[in-house]
Amino acid sequence: MKRSVLGFILGLSVMGCNSKPDKEDENLKIQAMTSCENAAITPEMSGAKQKLVKDYCSCSTDKMMGEFTYVEMMQMNNPSQELQDRLMKLVEPCLKELKTKSAELGE
């Protein structure tokens, strides 16, 4: 009996990881935003450029939250080619906006 209960709990855990996160999950949003900003912002960037990067991170995080499962989001540090391709297609509008606004700044 204990084994079947343990199996049931493990099954629920796996099913939960394969579901998409709540788009309003503030903790997950903060983690994703922080990770994006830490990877993209450098100390020598102007304040205006840092703001653009933060806007990009917000845009891409919002798109990721609606598309990827918890498991896929955990794999973003070392994504498979398929996952990377999906990500790039998804955030393409965010990246395009970043490039356009960066060009307007002259950076």
Q: 17 or 98: which carries more pLDDT confidence?
A: 98
Region label for 79, one of left (φ > 0), alpha (ψ between -120 and 50) or beta (otherwise) = beta
- Say what the pLDDT of residue 67 is: 87
pLDDT of residue 88 exceeding 70: yes
Q: Which helix (H) or strand (E) holds 54?
A: helix 47-67
Q: Write down the mean pLDDT value for the chain.
A: 80
Which pLDDT band, with edges at 50, 70 and 90, does 20 fall under? low
pTM of the entire predicted model: 0.74
Q: How far apart are CA 5 and CA 17, in angstroms?
A: 19
Tens of pLDDT, residue by residue over 21-51, are: 556 678 888 888 898 999 999 999 999 999 9
pLDDT-above-70 percentage for the chain: 78
